[in-house]
A and B are shown apart, each in its own frame.
Chain A
Amino acid sequence: MTAEAESGTKVLRMAASTSEDPKTGAMSSSEKLKFQGSGAPYTSDRGAGGSEAPSEMPAEGGRPRTLIATDGIGKYFPVRSGFFSREQKLLRAVDGVSIRVRRGETVGLVGESGCGKSTLGRLMLRLVEPSFGRVVYDGRDLVPLSAAALRPLRRKMQIIFQDPYSSLNPRMTVRAIVGEAIQIHKLAKTKRDEEDMVASLLLKVGLRPDVMGRYPHEFSGGQRQRIGIARALAVQPEFIVCDEPISALDVSIQAQIVNLLMDLQDDLGVAFLFISHDLRVVRHISQRVAVMYLGKLVEQGTNDQLFDGPLHPYTRALLAAVPTPDPEKKRLRIVVQGDAPSAIDPPEGCAFHPRCPRKVAGTCDKQVPQFAEVTHGTGHKVACWNPHTE
Chain B
Amino acid sequence: MSVSSSGSTTAPLLRVRDLVTTFRTERGLLRAVDRVSFEVAEGATLGIVGESGCGKSVTALSILRLIPHPQGTIERGTIEFRGKDLLGLSARAMQDVRGNEISMIFQEPMTSLNPVYSVGWQIVEAIRLHQKKSRGEARERAIEMLRLVGIPAPGSTIDAYPHQLSGGMRQRVMIAMALSCEPNLLIADEPTTALDVTIQAQILELLSDLKTKLGMGVLLITHDLGVVASVCTDVVVMYAGQVVERASVENLFAHPRHPYTRGLLRCLPTFDKVALSEPASAARDTLLAGEALASSLGSESGCAPKRTRPRLPVIEGLVPDLFALPQGCRFQDRCPLAVAQCRDAEPELLVVGEARDGSPHLARCIRANEV
Which residues of A lie under 8 Å from residue B286 when comparing CB positions? 259
Q: How near does chain A come to B317, taking the closest CB pair, in angstroms?
A: 9
Residues 306 to 341 of chain A near chain B (Cβ within 8 Å):
307-308, 317-340
Q: Determine which residue in B167, B263, B318 has the highest number of CB atoms from chain A within 10 A of its CB, and name it.
A: B318
Tell me the bound Cα distance from A283 to B225 in angstroms.
18
In contact, A256 and B306 (Cβ under 8 angstroms): no
Pick from A200, A266, A324, A340: contact of B230, CB under 8 Å = A324
A267 within 8 A of partner (CB): yes
Q: How near does chain A come to B163, taking the closest CB pair, in angstroms?
A: 13
A262 within 8 A of partner (CB): yes
B370 within 8 A of partner (CB): no
The residue in chain A whose Cβ has the minimal distance to the Cβ of B232 is A327
Given contacts A277-B196, A280-B268, A339-B168, contact A323 B230 (CB under 8 A): yes
Selecting from B65-73, B120-128, B179-187, B201-209, the interface stretch reads B201-209
Tell me the bound Cα distance from A323 to B198 in angstroms.
10
Q: How near does chain B come to A372, taking the closest CB pair, in angstroms?
A: 25
Q: Determine which residue in A250, A319, A335 has the highest number of CB atoms from chain B within 10 A of its CB, and name it.
A: A250
Tell me the bound Cα distance from A336 to B253 in angstroms.
28
Tell me the bound Cα distance from A258 to B267 in angstroms.
11
In contact, A333 and B201 (Cβ under 8 angstroms): yes
Residues 181 to 205 of chain A near chain B (Cβ within 8 Å):
199-200, 203-204
Which residues of A lie under 8 Å from residue B276 when comparing CB positions? 283-284
Q: B-facing mask of A282-309, CB < 8 A → 1, else 0? A: 0110000000000000000000000110
In contact, A334 and B225 (Cβ under 8 angstroms): no
> How many of chain B's residues touch chain A, expressed as a range?
35 or more
Pick from A259, A308, A330, A333: contact of B314, CB under 8 Å = A259
Tell me the bound Cα distance from A329 to B200 in angstroms.
17
Q: How near does chain A come to B291, taking the closest CB pair, in angstroms?
A: 12
Tell me the bound Cα distance from A323 to B271 in angstroms.
11
A38 within 8 A of partner (CB): no
Given contacts A113-B196, A220-B52, A251-B224, contact A323 B201 (CB under 8 A): yes
In contact, A251 and B202 (Cβ under 8 angstroms): no
Main secondary structure of the interface of A (DSSP, over half): helix
A375 within 8 A of partner (CB): no
B330 within 8 A of partner (CB): no
B131 within 8 A of partner (CB): no
Q: A-facing mask of B145-181, CB < 8 A → 1, else 0? A: 0000000100000000000001111000000000000
Tell me the bound Cα distance from A39 to B53 in angstroms.
48
Pick from B200, B297, B314: contact of A321, CB under 8 Å = B200
Tell me the bound Cα distance from A189 to B224 in angstroms.
43
Which residues of B lie under 8 Å from residue A207 when comparing CB positions? 318
Tell me the bound Cα distance from A284 to B174 in angstroms.
34
In contact, B197 and A321 (Cβ under 8 angstroms): yes
Tell me the bound Cα distance from A308 to B274 in angstroms.
12
B29 within 8 A of partner (CB): no
A6 within 8 A of partner (CB): no
Tell me the bound Cα distance from A345 to B35 in angstroms.
54
In contact, A318 and B264 (Cβ under 8 angstroms): no
Pick from B169, B250, B293: contact of A203, CB under 8 Å = B293
Which residues of A lie under 8 Å from residue B311 when comparing CB positions? 259, 262-263
Which residues of A lie under 8 Å from residue B198 when comparing CB positions? 112, 317-318, 321, 334-336
The residue in chain A whose Cβ has the minimal distance to the Cβ of B172 is A339
In contact, B315 and A334 (Cβ under 8 angstroms): no
B249 within 8 A of partner (CB): yes
Given contacts A113-B167, A114-B166, A262-B309, contact A203 B297 (CB under 8 A): yes
In contact, B271 and A337 (Cβ under 8 angstroms): no
Given contacts A259-B312, A325-B225, contact A334 B196 (CB under 8 A): no
The residue in chain A whose Cβ has the minimal distance to the Cβ of B313 is A255
B273 within 8 A of partner (CB): yes
A57 within 8 A of partner (CB): no
Tell me the bound Cα distance from A317 to B198 in angstroms.
7
Pick from A255, A266, A333, A339: contact of B312, CB under 8 Å = A255
Q: Determine which residue in A221, A259, A336 has the highest number of CB atoms from chain B within 10 A of its CB, and name it.
A: A259
Given contacts A252-B51, A323-B227, A325-B226, contact A279 B197 (CB under 8 A): yes
Tell me the bound Cα distance from A317 to B263 in angstroms.
29
Which residues of A lie under 8 Å from residue B204 when comparing CB positions? 323, 332
A347 within 8 A of partner (CB): no
Other A-B pairs beyond A259-B311, A259-B312, A325-B270, 13, CB < 8 Å: A206-B318, A208-B321, A263-B307, A267-B305, A284-B312, A323-B200, A323-B227, A323-B230, A325-B225, A325-B228, A332-B204, A332-B230, A338-B152
List 8 interface pairs A-B (beta carbons < 8 Å), by A numbering: A112-B197, A207-B318, A223-B52, A254-B267, A277-B196, A280-B271, A319-B271, A332-B201
Q: Which 7 A-B pairs have the closest CB atoms?
A: A323-B226, A255-B267, A250-B51, A112-B196, A255-B312, A284-B269, A321-B201
